[in-house]
Amino acid sequence: MSSNVTATPAPGGGCPPVGIQLEGVILPPVLAIDVLLGLLGNLVALWIFCFRIKSWNANTVFLFNLVVADFLALLSLPLRIDALLRGHWVFGDAPCRLNLFLMFSNRTASIALMTIIAFYRYFKVVHPHHRFNRMTKHQAAGFSLVVWLLMSSPRIPLLAYNHIKGSGSKTQCFFFTSYKEASRGIIILVAMHRILTVLEFVIALVLLVFCSVRISLFLKKRQMGKPEKVRRAMRVCVAIVVIFLVCFLPTTITTLGIWLNRSLRPWDCNAFYMLTQLNIVSLGLNFLNSALDPIVYVFSSTMFRTALLAAIPRRLRCCQVEDSERSSSTSQSTSQIELRMTRASEAL
């Protein structure tokens, strides 16, 4: 697609179509890394959940659904990488619609499920006797189904429109790159997408920060474990928030920038092009979250950690086991502290 950029809108209003520029250089290697790391980590996680964990609880159900959301999102990337490397989309209309639906609906579902897991962890630690902690695995499965329906519904209109632009060797499958040629339905769809992108980030960030701060303060106040254990728990909480910010904040900022540009400076096509390019590039960080989520599984489920360690050959973990045994035999008080930490670790 043409890479010519004009500083003024076309006579018919809006900006002329913008072609692949910055994202064609940066996104392919970034998305390739996301796919390699993400599929490897999530395939291992799926294998552990399906074949190594025998007894499931509500937390395990939520984590499994997060694996599924990440896995489906990552499956949408190879077609996108191919299109970026070729410089155009060759797979037709239906795969384009499905590709966009998977990319954005599973991003939303992943954010929602991550927030739910944080809340589950919060209740386990801060309110251990709350009825939310008595949720069965079947109730958690039903709750997860509702979350999937709620998170996917706003993205269903993506399947109703043709997002192919151009023809021949200039076809593209990006419903938000062109402003001038968009129909009214697409413009409404893009506006809804931008609103959802900002809202889901802000709401999830507020809840994640709240849960992490409350957990950290609770552990510090109750001194559940040695100071090093408390510091470790606090570092985990901070790491989750940092990963969330790194992966989703750039997309939110550039989305807000595009929104403000179209509202306040619709004639500034150069700014529109730059923000659009940066917005598309930032999607690579969104999918990095899917590659990093296995870290969440390790810290959020004792059963997952146990199953993962059991799957590692003994010769690779015998030293760690011996060190753990020596450490646990130092004093009876330390053992009691570790026991309390283990009971709370379902949320750590």
Q: How far apart are CA 38 and CA 288, in angstroms?
A: 8
The pLDDT of residue 61 is: 92
Domain boundaries, the chain: 22-347
- Please determine, looking at this structure, whether the domain spanning 22-347 carries the CATH number 1.20.1070.10: yes
Binned at pLDDT 50, 70 and 90, residue 225 comes out as: low
pLDDT in tens, 9-32: 444 445 655 555 666 778 888 889
**Among 2-16, 202-216, 259-273, whose mean pLDDT is lowest?**
2-16
Distance CA 285, CA 174 (A): 17
pLDDT digits (tens, 9 = 90+) for 68-87: 988 888 888 999 899 888 88
Q: Which two tokens stand for residue 269?
A: 């096509």
Distance of alpha carbon 244 from alpha carbon 256, whole angstroms: 18
Element (H, E) at 54: none
Question: How deeply is 209 buried, as exposed, middle or buried, from its count of CB atoms within 10 A (0-12, 13-18, 19+)?
Answer: middle
pTM of structure: 0.76
Residue 268 above 60 pLDDT? yes
As a whole number of angstroms, the distance between CA 114 and CA 118 comes to: 6
pLDDT, greater one: 181 or 71: 71
